[in-house]
Amino acid sequence: MPPAQARDFVRDALKGTSLRDPFAQLLSLELVFEQRVRFVPVDETHTRIEFDAVGQLPGADVLMYTRRLGEIDRFFVALHDELDRRARHRRPDGGDRAIDEGR
């Protein structure tokens, strides 16, 4: 994905997830972590997206290690789901679906 599109892609991917819902975060104690996202351009068509959940309380990274890993995992699952959603809505190359070519 081009660097110019990466931020919008991440915003779309996280829309409607518990990673952006303050009430859901409060219920699952995820407010203990600060979400940090970094976009690193690789070339014109690729961007590396880095995510970390950094503990805001001393010792939170250690005491809540599995919850931190879960938050990181959910972030990348949301990105993968957005890629799948976009692939399903993309029109296949090489023709119009309204035209039956006898296949």
Residue 102 inside a domain? The answer is no
Structural domain of 40: 3-86
Residue 95 inside a domain? The answer is no
Residue 33 inside a domain? The answer is yes
> Does position 17 have pLDDT exceeding 90, yes or no?
no
* Residue-wise pLDDT tens digits, 42-72: 999 999 999 887 777 777 767 777 877 888 8
Residue 45 inside a domain? The answer is yes
Task: Locate 98 and state its tokens.
Answer: 């309204």
pLDDT for res 36: 83
Residue 100 inside a domain? The answer is no
How far apart, in Å, are the Cα atoms of 80 and each of 10, 19, 43? 10, 15, 21
Residue 103 inside a domain? The answer is no
pLDDT for res 96: 52
> Does position 84 have pLDDT exceeding 90, yes or no?
yes
Residue 25 inside a domain? The answer is yes
Compute the chain's Rg from CA coordinates: 18
The count of domains in the chain is: 1
> Does position 22 have pLDDT exceeding 70, yes or no?
no
pTM (2 decimals)?
0.67
Return contacts of 43-47, CB within 8 angstroms, 24+ apart: 44/2, 44/3, 45/1, 45/2, 46/1, 46/2, 47/1, 47/2, 47/3, 47/5, 47/6
